[in-house]
Structure 1
Amino acid sequence: MKKPTLSLITLLILAAGLFLPLHREPVHADGGVLRVRIGVVQDGVVRITPDDLRNAGIDPKTIDPRTFAMSSQGQPVAIRVAGEGDGRFDDGDFIEFFGQKFHGSLQDEKYTDENVYWLTIGDAPGPRIPDVNATPSFDLTPPADFAAVVHAEENNYWYTQHRKDPPTKESWYWDQLRPYASQPGVTHTFAAAVPYPITDQSFALTVEENARMNVSHRTTIAFNDALLVDATWSAKRRAVFTATVPAGVAVSGINTVTIGALLQPGVTSDWVYVNYWELAYRREFSAWQGRIDFRAEEAGPHEYAIDGWAAPQVVILDISDPFAPRRLIEPATMAGDTWTLRFRVDDAAGDHFWLQEESAIAGPASIALRPPLDQLRQPDTGADVIIVTGQDLFPAAERLADWHRSRGYSSRVVFFQDLVDEFNDGIYHPRAVTNFLTWTQTQWPDPKPRYVVLFGDGNWNFKGYNPAKYPIEPIIVPPYLAWEDPWQGEVPDDNRYADLDDDGNPELALGRIPVNNMEEANAVVDKLTAYDENERSQFWQRIAVFIADDDPPVGDFAGDSDLIINNYLPPDVIPQRIYRNITHSDIASVRQAIADAINSGTFMVQYAGHGSPDTWMKGVGWSVQDVENLSNAGMYPLFSTFNCLDGYFAYPGRPSIAETTLRKADAGSIAAFSPTGLGATSEQTPFRETLMEVIFQDDVRTLGDALLLTKQRYFQHRGRHYLIETMTLFGDPTLTLPSGFYLNNAYTPLQLNPNPAPLNAPALPKLPERNPPRQEPLTPPL
Structure 2
Amino acid sequence: MKILNLRNSFLAILVLLNNVSFAAIDTPQSILNMNIKENGVYRVTYDDVVAQGINLSGISKSKLSIINNGIPVPIKIFSNNQTTFEPGDFIEFVGKNGNSLYQEGSIYSLIISQGLRINDNRTLPNDTQLPELYYMHREYYGDNKTYNFGSPTEDPWYDKRILAIGSEVNESIYFNIDNLVNIGEVELSVNIWGGTDYPQTPDHHVIYTLNGTVIDDFRFDGLVNVSNQYLMETSSLFDGVHELKITVPNDTNTTADVIYINSWQVNYPRAFVLKNSKLHYDTLVKSIGAGDLIFSNGFEESTKTYYLSNANNETYRVYVVMENGTVESYQSETSANCLELNSQDCLLKFTLENNSNGEVFVTSESEIMTPEYLIPVMLTDIKQDRNIDYLIISHPDFIGESLNQFVADKQLNVEVLLVDVEQIYAQFGDWNVSADSIKQYIRYARNEFLVKDVLLVGGDTYDYKNYLNSGSISFIPTLYAQTDEYIRYAPVDAKFTDVDDDNIPDFNIGRFPVRTESELDNLIDKINLYNSKTYNNTAIFAADKLDTSTGYSFKDDAELLISMLPELWQNNIGSDQRAYVDDDGVDLAKSKIANNINQGIALTSFIGHSGPRDWSFSRLFSTGDANALFNSESPTLVTQWGCWNTYFVSPTEDTLAHAFMLNQNGGAASVLGASTLTKAEHEQGLAQLVLKHLTHDSMTLGDAVTNAKRMYAATHPDALDVILGWNILGDPDLRL
Q: Which TM bucket (shorter chain)? A: 0.7 to 0.9
> Residues 47 and 362 of structure 1 are in contact (CA less than 8 Å); yes or no, is this contact kept in structure 2?
yes
Q: Helix, strand or coil for the counterpart of 1:309?
A: coil
Corresponding residue number in structure 1 for 2:3? 25
Map 1:359-374 to 2 at 5 A. 359-373=366-380
Q: Offset of 1:332 from its aligned partner?
A: 6.3
* Percent pairwise identity: 19
Residue pair 1:504, 1:721 contacting (<8 A) in 2 also: no
2:565 corresponds in structure 1 to 568
The gaps in structure 1 that reach 5 residues or longer are 1-22, 104-108, 738-782
2:521 partner amino acid? N
Q: 1:376 aligns with which of 377, 382, 386?
A: 382
Contact 1:223/1:245, CA 8 A, preserved across alignment: no
CA distance in 2, matches of 1:245, 1:625: 58
CA shift for structure 1 position 629: 1.5
Equivalent AA in structure 1 for residue 160 of structure 2? D
Deviation at 1:431, TM superposition (A): 1.7
1:422 and 2:427 correspond:
yes
Distance 2:678 2:158 in 1: 26
Other-structure match for 1:146: 135
SS at match of 2:57: helix
Aligned partners of 1:125 and 1:234: how far apart in 2?
56
C-alpha change, 1:160 and 1:667, in structure 2 (3 Å) is same
CA distance in 1, matches of 2:169, 2:531: 60
1:675 to partner: Cα distance: 1.0
> Using the alignment, how far apart are the partners of 2:137 and 2:634 within structure 1?
65
Query: Structure 1 residues 94 and 130 mapped into 2: Cα distance closer, same or farther (>3 Å)?
Result: same
| 1:570-609 equivalent positions in 2, closer than 5 A | 570-573=567-570, 574-576=572-574, 578=578, 580-584=580-584, 586-609=585-608
Per the TM alignment, residue 249 of structure 1 is displaced from its structure 2 partner at its CA by 5.2
Query: 2:437 matched to which residue of 1?
Result: 432
**Structure 1 stretch 315-324 or stretch 168-177: which is displaced more?**
315-324
Determine the structure 1 residue equivalent to 2:103.
Answer: 112
SS in 2 for 1:319: strand
Match of 2:191 among 196, 208, 231: 208
Work out the CA distance in 2 between the residues paired with 1:440 and 1:233: 46
Q: SS state of the match for residue 489, structure 1?
A: coil
CA distance in structure 2 between the aligned counterparts of 1:727 and 1:41, rounded to whole angstroms: 35
Q: How far 1:193 sits from its partner (Å)? A: 4.0
1:82 to 69, 75, 78: 78
Within the candidate set 517, 538, 541, 1:542 is matched to 538
SS in 2 for 1:376: coil
Superposition pairs of residues 259-408 of structure 1, within 5 angstroms: 259-264=246-251, 269-292=256-279, 293-297=281-285, 298=294, 300-321=302-323, 323-330=325-332, 333=335, 335=337, 337-338=343-344, 339-348=346-355, 351-373=358-380, 375-378=381-384, 383-395=388-400, 396-405=402-411, 407-408=412-413
User: Which residue number corresponds to residue 17 of structure 1?
Assistant: none
46-55 or 391-400, which deviates more: 391-400
- Say how many residue pairs are matched: 688
Residue 557 of structure 1, CA deviation: 1.9
Whole-angstrom distance in 2 between the partners of 1:208 and 1:347 = 35
1:35 corresponds to: 30
Alpha-carbon shift at residue 514 of structure 1 (Å) = 0.4
After superposition, residues 619-698 of structure 1 pair within 5 angstroms as 620-698=619-697
Paired residue secondary structure (1:366): strand
What per-residue deviation string (whole Å, max 9, x for no partner) do you get for residues 360-395 of structure 1?
Answer: 11111223254232x21346x654322222222222
| Alignment match, 2:23 | none
Gap change, CA 1:24 and 1:485, over 3 Å in 2: farther
- SS of the residue 2:310 aligns to: strand
Distance 1:621 1:310, change over 3 A: farther
Deviations 1:226-274 (A, max 9, x none): 5534545454443334444554454445544343434337556443221
Contact 2:466 2:472 in 1 (8 A): no
The 1:221/1:246 distance shift into structure 2, 3 A limit, reads farther
Q: Following the alignment from structure 1 to structure 2, what is the Cα–Cα distance between the partners of residues 551 and 151?
A: 47
Match of 1:126 in 2: 115
Alignment of 1:34-183 (within 5 A): 35-36=30-31, 37-83=33-79, 85-103=81-99, 109-121=100-112, 124-161=113-150, 164=152, 168-181=153-166
Distance 1:442 1:677, change over 3 A: closer
Q: Which runs of 4+ in 1 moved over 6 A?
A: none
Task: State how far apart, in whole Å, the 2-side matches of 1:25 and 1:346 are.
Answer: 45
Query: Greater shift after overlay, 89-98 or 136-145?
Result: 136-145
Equivalent position SS for 2:86: coil
Write out per-residue CA displacement over residues 8-62 of structure 1, whole angstroms, 9 at most, x where no aligned residue: xxxxxxxxxxxxxxx8333342253462222211111111001221122211324
Residues 85-94 or 213-222, more deviating: 213-222
In structure 2, relative to structure 1, the CA distance for the partners of 1:533 and 1:735 (3 Å cut) is farther
8 Å CA contact 1:134–1:331 kept in 2: the answer is: no
CA distance in 1, matches of 2:568, 2:671: 23
Secondary structure in 1 matching 2:672: strand
Decide which moves more: 77-86 or 665-674: 77-86
Query: Please, which moves more after superposition, 573-582 or 551-560?
Result: 573-582
C-alpha spacing 1:369/1:669, structure 2 compared with 1 (3 Å): closer
SS at match of 1:154: coil
Higher mean displacement: 621-630 or 54-63 = 54-63
Aligned-residue RMSD, C-alpha: 2.7
CA contact (8 A) 2:173 2:245 kept: yes
Task: Give, in whole Å, the separation in 1 of the partners of 2:498 and 2:255.
Answer: 45
Secondary structure at 2:734's aligned position in 1?
coil
Shift in alpha-carbon separation, 1:350–1:222, aligned structure 2, 3 A:
farther
The amino acid of 1:638's aligned partner reads L
| 1:693-742 per-position Cα deviation (integer Å, ceiling 9, x unaligned) | 22223331x111221222222333344641221111110112122xxxxx
The question of whether the paired residues in 2 share the 8 Å contact of 1:690 and 1:710 is answered with: yes
Q: Who is 2:289 aligned against?
A: none
- 1:752 alignment counterpart: none
CA–CA separation in structure 1 for the residues paired with 2:221 and 2:447: 52
Q: Secondary structure at the match of 2:531?
A: coil
**What is the one-letter code of the residue matched to 1:643?**
G
Q: Which amino acid in the other structure matches residue 52 of structure 1?
A: D
Alpha-carbon separation, structure 1, partners of 2:437 and 2:681: 35
**1: CA distance, partners of 2:120 / 2:39:** 21
Cα separation, 2, equivalents of 1:241 and 1:619 = 44
Distance 1:432 1:244 in 2: 41
Deviations, residues 180-220 of structure 1 (Å, cap 9, x unaligned): 44xx3443443444342224654222222223234644434
Secondary structure of the residue aligned to 2:689 is helix
2:347 aligned partner, one-letter code: T
Distance (whole Å) between structure 2 residues aligned to residue 305 and residue 504 of structure 1? 56
Q: Distance in 2 between matches of 1:217 and 1:334?
A: 59
Letter matched to residue 112 of structure 1:
Q
User: Structure 1 pair 232/316, CA: closer, same or farther in 2 (3 Å)?
Assistant: same
Question: Structure 1 residues 442, 229: CA separation in 2 closer, same or farther (over 3 Å shift)?
Answer: closer
Per-residue CA deviations over 1:91-148 (Å, capped at 9, x if unaligned) read 3211111111114xxxxx2112321122212xx4212111012213344322212222
Any idea what SS the aligned residue of 2:583 has?
A: coil
Given that 2:313 and 2:334 are in contact with CA atoms closer than 8 Å, whether structure 1 keeps it comes out as no
Q: In the alignment, what sits opposite 1:453?
A: 455
Distance 1:26-1:350 versus aligned 2 partners, 3 A rule: closer
Distance 1:712 1:235 in 2: 32
